[in-house]
Amino acid sequence: MSYNLLNGKKGIIFGALDSKSIAWKIAEKAHDEGAVFTLSNTPVALRFGEIQLLSEKCNAEVIPADATNVSDLEKVFTRTMELFGGKIDFVLHSIGMSMNVRKGRDYDDLDYDFFLKTIDVSALSFHKMLQVARKLDAINDWGSVLALSYIAAQRTLVGYNDMADAKALLESIARSFGYIYGRDKHIRINTISQSPTRTTAGSAIKGMDGLVDFTDRMSPLGNATAEECADFSIVLFSDLSRKVTMQNIYHDGGFSSMAMSLRAMTQYNKSLDEQS
Amino acid sequence: MSYNLLNGKKGIIFGALDSKSIAWKIAEKAHDEGAVFTLSNTPVALRFGEIQLLSEKCNAEVIPADATNVSDLEKVFTRTMELFGGKIDFVLHSIGMSMNVRKGRDYDDLDYDFFLKTIDVSALSFHKMLQVARKLDAINDWGSVLALSYIAAQRTLVGYNDMADAKALLESIARSFGYIYGRDKHIRINTISQSPTRTTAGSAIKGMDGLVDFTDRMSPLGNATAEECADFSIVLFSDLSRKVTMQNIYHDGGFSSMAMSLRAMTQYNKSLDEQS
Amino acid sequence: MSYNLLNGKKGIIFGALDSKSIAWKIAEKAHDEGAVFTLSNTPVALRFGEIQLLSEKCNAEVIPADATNVSDLEKVFTRTMELFGGKIDFVLHSIGMSMNVRKGRDYDDLDYDFFLKTIDVSALSFHKMLQVARKLDAINDWGSVLALSYIAAQRTLVGYNDMADAKALLESIARSFGYIYGRDKHIRINTISQSPTRTTAGSAIKGMDGLVDFTDRMSPLGNATAEECADFSIVLFSDLSRKVTMQNIYHDGGFSSMAMSLRAMTQYNKSLDEQS
Amino acid sequence: MSYNLLNGKKGIIFGALDSKSIAWKIAEKAHDEGAVFTLSNTPVALRFGEIQLLSEKCNAEVIPADATNVSDLEKVFTRTMELFGGKIDFVLHSIGMSMNVRKGRDYDDLDYDFFLKTIDVSALSFHKMLQVARKLDAINDWGSVLALSYIAAQRTLVGYNDMADAKALLESIARSFGYIYGRDKHIRINTISQSPTRTTAGSAIKGMDGLVDFTDRMSPLGNATAEECADFSIVLFSDLSRKVTMQNIYHDGGFSSMAMSLRAMTQYNKSLDEQS
């Protein structure tokens, strides 16, 4: 089903890896809703991912880029504008990676080169994207930029490690640049704080299964899926959300506003019963 | 322009008074997007307002009700279900009134009967609406309920008086009932925290002009209008936001995430220059 | 051990019932730290509680008052000023009661007379206290007023019912009046959001045991005790916190900033293991 | 006046530059309250600052260190433990620097090497400090670690630039490490969000004067001074705040909870009058 919410809109989607990726679902949905866009990911990700399938499905050119590399980003924006004959309307940032997580380094035993890499890939890349767009004047007035975040930016989860700090920084960059870009060009910048999602990247988080079960039972509507996240992302790209900016919006079935649900408490209490 | 976002959806809109009302704009927009709905307001408001115009425009029956009166609310829901042959999909609560504000009572000289009236009209009415709907099983699974709020719920503004406390309570009720209704029926409940808006009700707030100027200069995108608020409200009624619940979403041009903008600072500094 | 942090300070402590009460611990601690104060609670609570013991221990007169009754509150403030020969320096509000909780009414089946009673006793009483103090000019410049709150004001817990809404309102009143009293008299108003505590009142909450176990395992420092809450309350009455106002400070061992701890996850996972 | 709140406590204070520094005031106050501690700052800062005066006044050894350098930090902790014959009880982090601010780079024209430097000096240094302490097991159980932050971490201010992002990251590190250190050693980690303060570092911020005037008029208690911040910092090092952790506490005269005050509005309105 399509509402044509993005008819005539042009954009760039960073971070689609495979069909489990939230960015992948957003691309499919944006296509359904009438948008045209390019896709970008790192050369390595493009090699291992299945992005060619998505490219064909959405009729979207793939532009390889290391999102921490300013000149790569310039190419993505320049090539996209060239393709579409002018400025674009939306950008999605769905990028995150922590070598500390991958290598199993505990948070009190971080490697600082890894830490800076986490920051650069997962947060600073968003600033670079925005600064490149701003300098190239690549985004139309009233355009929309979106990044995907997680509640770890506000509340600590065991195992999420330095990605929590990167998400806090990412959300701060959304606010800081949201002020500048809003004031100068009426461009809005927001983040969506999404339920834990079983993407290929998400699976790297230790203890994901128990956590997903817990958050599902805590959330009155259950965990939000990648498809549902795509639905809401489309809204934020559409003209219906033009005055929402510098916000982090929880798309999480209500988890963020819960301290204890009946379902989670009942399940938890089973563990206590077993002890007695 | 219409996306048919609410095709086939049925609802109730509480609180449209005249063409400046946010609820009025939401009604117009919901109509454009394919929804059918009834309108409700107090008998007094119906007498003085221009709601008949809206009723005709949207082909919507008007059902008088005091939203603090449970049996009146039952009539609204029952009559609406009767009209539409079944359960509804969305409800808007746009109701607020403070006799302390109207009578110019300062916050440290409140009349407590007025205070309880503020609470009852502006916040408890929302609970009553939800409890009535729940008991009548009046809302479809995955339905959406929305109330309009204001940043005074989080941050104090001179002159907003006991309405600030009422809005804090309103947002709390949205969370508390959002848990219950989400868990049991997948119905989501949210509030939109809207920019100060020059409605007939809003004009009662002392010093509204200076405040509107200030918030406009502080907000990177400027204040959000009633029409823009209607756009975003439609989104929250649509199927694209099904996993957003128990949230208060700022629709304010970025004001809530600002501490000081260049435009507001520049204007403010003029006042200092004048002194020297 | 005493630091004499409250030497020369005079106050009123509302809400000490028995030796499990947080207000009781605050009274003991305030006494140790050199304060003089009166104690107040409802006539019924005074009859059933053990407050006479506290009164003797702290050499504190007990003044019966229904905190929802303005003229009772006037007597408390007037009598206290009479006793101490002048204005006071601090006030504690530790009052909460929900008939909906007591009678086991679910949140979607509230009795609205009970609801208004919950609001009046648990939140509006705080405004009445402040308004009475303000009118009698009963508090010294740079005085401190404190109320006890709970995280239910921000995040929903099954079973906490309409007390959640009352706490949200209480915190809002702290902000709203904090602005007025700060501006006019440099008096600060704050709330402490305390861990779930096994007081006589707290025990009324359904499922308290499982919740206390869960929050203890979620909180890196474990749940905060009533004694520890008293320690921190003393700080907020002392001259060392003179510029903290309109704040809700979490005194909860870190619970509010956690989304998942190793200890809670490990315990939770046991319940899942049992199923398989 | 002294309460001996820190009798027997040992610590390290990072970041005292001159007598305007908040860290300087905290050192003086900690000394008054009975603590012993070492002082640390960069070799450059030590050369240009007046820290020798503070060292003599507090009988505190000065240990030069670049806080971004792990081995320098190890020396500070090792030397301090050597001096005091064992583990310490508190650490203050009052460190921040942005070359982008210094060089007048706008936020949409950042130098990324400068950005990473801002992050490293102003935020990552806090993690390094904590990780070094953890590895050396340098802090006693129930010890307290504190960093100074600013509301820019939550809300954007023109001119604060990438320091806003650094503060958001700093506060996130406080939460993330607060979980680990709390769980393992009962050590708490908090940040204080202080009013804008006319320190030597703060003066680098563009438009500081107008901002300080505005925040003072917005804050019901006025801006908090460095001395007052020191008072509250002592509290967070003392045994009276043992269950407060992973929190960012606003010490700002109420600014953070205000959206508009009468004084600020009156002043602002003068600027509008002048136009007409």
Question: In the A/C pair of chains, how many CB contacts fall below 8 A?
Answer: 86
Q: How far, in Å, are A258, D68, D162, D166 from residue D98 at the CA level?
A: 38, 14, 7, 9
**What pLDDT is attached to residue A275?**
52
The chain-wide mean pLDDT, for chain D, equals 95
Give residue D47's domain range.
10-206+223-260
Contacts with D182 from chain C: Cβ below 8 Å: 219-221, 253-254
**What pLDDT is attached to residue C209?**
87
| Contact check, Cβ <8 Å, C260/A157 | yes
Which residue of chain A has the CA closest to D166? A169
Closest partner residue to C172 (CB to CB) among B109, B168, B175 is B168
> Is pLDDT of C276 > 50?
no
Q: Which helix (H) or strand (E) holds B125?
A: helix B125-136
What is the average pLDDT across A163-179? 98
pLDDT tens-digit series, residues D11-42: 999 999 999 999 999 999 999 999 999 999 99
Domain assignment present for residue C5? The answer is no
What is the average pLDDT across C136-155? 98
User: For chain A, what percent of residues have pLDDT higher than 70?
Assistant: 97
Distance from CA of D172 to the nearest CA of C (A): 10
> Is pLDDT of A41 > 50?
yes
**What pLDDT is attached to residue A149?**
98
**What pLDDT is attached to residue C200?**
74
Distance from CA of C97 to the nearest CA of B (A): 17
Domain assignment present for residue B89? The answer is yes
State which amino acid sits at residue D59.
N
| Contact check, Cβ <8 Å, A245/B234 | no
Contacts with A267 from chain C: Cβ below 8 Å: 268, 271-272
Q: Phi, psi at residue D64, to the nearest 5°? A: -65, 140
Domain assignment present for residue B273? The answer is no
Alpha-carbon gap, residue D16 to D48, rounded angstroms: 12
Contacts with A156 from chain C: Cβ below 8 Å: 257-261
Distance from CA of A24 to the nearest CA of C (A): 27
Domain CATH for B120: 3.40.50.720
Contacts with A234 from chain B: Cβ below 8 Å: 240
pLDDT tens-digit series, residues C69-121: 999 999 999 999 999 999 999 999 999 999 999 999 999 999 999 999 999 99
Closest partner residue to B259 (CB to CB) among D155, D210, D268 is D155
Contacts with A156 from chain D: Cβ below 8 Å: 175-176, 178-179, 246
Any A CB within 8 A of C77 CB: no
Closest partner residue to B176 (CB to CB) among C156, C179, C181 is C156
pLDDT tens-digit series, residues A42-77: 998 888 779 999 999 999 999 999 999 999 999 999
Closest partner residue to A168 (CB to CB) among D120, D168, D184 is D168
List, as ranges, residues 145-204 from A with C-beta within 8 Å of B. 175, 178-183, 186, 188, 195
Distance from CA of B138 to the nearest CA of A (A): 19
**What pLDDT is attached to residue C206?**
66
Q: Is D195:D223 a contact under the CB 8 Å cutoff?
A: yes
Any D CB within 8 A of A134 CB: yes
**What pLDDT is attached to residue A205?**
64
What is the average pLDDT across C20-26? 97
Residue among D204, D208, D219 at smallest CA distance from D250:
D219
User: Is residue D276 very low, low, confident or very high in pLDDT (cuts 50, 70, 90)?
Assistant: very low
Contacts with B234 from chain A: Cβ below 8 Å: 240
Instruction: Label each residue of chain C as H, E or C.
Output: CCCCCCCCCEEEEECCCCCCCHHHHHHHHHHHCCCEEEEEECHHHHHHCCHHHHHHHHCCCEEECCCCCHHHHHHHHHHHHHHHCCCEEEEEECCCCCHHHHCCCCCCCCCHHHHHHHHHHHHHHHHHHHHHHHHHCCEEEEEEEEEEECHHHCCEECCCCHHHHHHHHHHHHHHHHHHHHHHHHCCEEEEEEECCCCCCCHHHCCCHHHHHHHHHHHCCCCCCCHHHHHHHHHHHHCHHHCCCCCCEEEECCCHHHEEECHHHHHHHHHHHHHHC
Distance from CA of A193 to the nearest CA of C (A): 13
List, as ranges, residues 243-262 from D with C-beta within 8 Å of C. 243-247, 249-254, 256-258, 261-262
What is the average pLDDT across C125-138? 98
Number of domains, chain A: 1
| Contact check, Cβ <8 Å, B179/A4 | no
Domain assignment present for residue C214? The answer is no
| Contact check, Cβ <8 Å, C262/A158 | yes
**What pLDDT is attached to residue B276?**
47
pLDDT tens-digit series, residues B52-64: 999 999 999 999 9
Residue C61, judged by CB atoms within 10 A of its CB (0-12, 13-18, 19+), counts as middle
**What pLDDT is attached to residue A204?**
62
Domain assignment present for residue B118? The answer is yes
Q: Phi, psi at residue D195, to the nearest 5°? A: -50, 155
Distance from CA of D70 to the nearest CA of B (A): 35
| Contact check, Cβ <8 Å, A245/B186 | no
> Is pLDDT of B172 > 60?
yes
Any D CB within 8 A of B240 CB: no
The chain-wide mean pLDDT, for chain C, equals 95
> Is pLDDT of B121 > 60?
yes
User: Is residue B204 very low, low, confident or very high in pLDDT (cuts 50, 70, 90)?
Assistant: low
Residue D114 in 3-state DSSP? helix
Q: Is D168:A169 a contact under the CB 8 Å cutoff?
A: yes
| Contact check, Cβ <8 Å, D249/C247 | yes
Residue among B179, D245, A218 at smallest CA distance from C211:
A218
| Contact check, Cβ <8 Å, C134/B180 | no
Which residue of chain A has the CA closest to C260? A157
pLDDT tens-digit series, residues B141-171: 999 999 999 999 999 999 999 999 999 999 9
> Is pLDDT of B67 > 60?
yes
Domain assignment present for residue A3? The answer is no
Closest partner residue to B246 (CB to CB) among A175, A186, A254 is A254
Contacts with D176 from chain A: Cβ below 8 Å: 107, 156, 161-162, 164-165
Domain assignment present for residue A35? The answer is yes
**What pLDDT is attached to residue A276?**
47
- pTM of the predicted model over 0.90: yes
> Is pLDDT of B114 > 90?
yes
| Contact check, Cβ <8 Å, D154/B210 | no
The conformation of residue B1, written as its DSSP 8-state character, comes to -
**What pLDDT is attached to residue D45?**
86
**What pLDDT is attached to residue D203?**
67
Domain assignment present for residue D177? The answer is yes
Q: How far, in Å, are A60, A129, A177, D149, D266 from residue A133 at the CA level?
A: 20, 6, 12, 30, 40
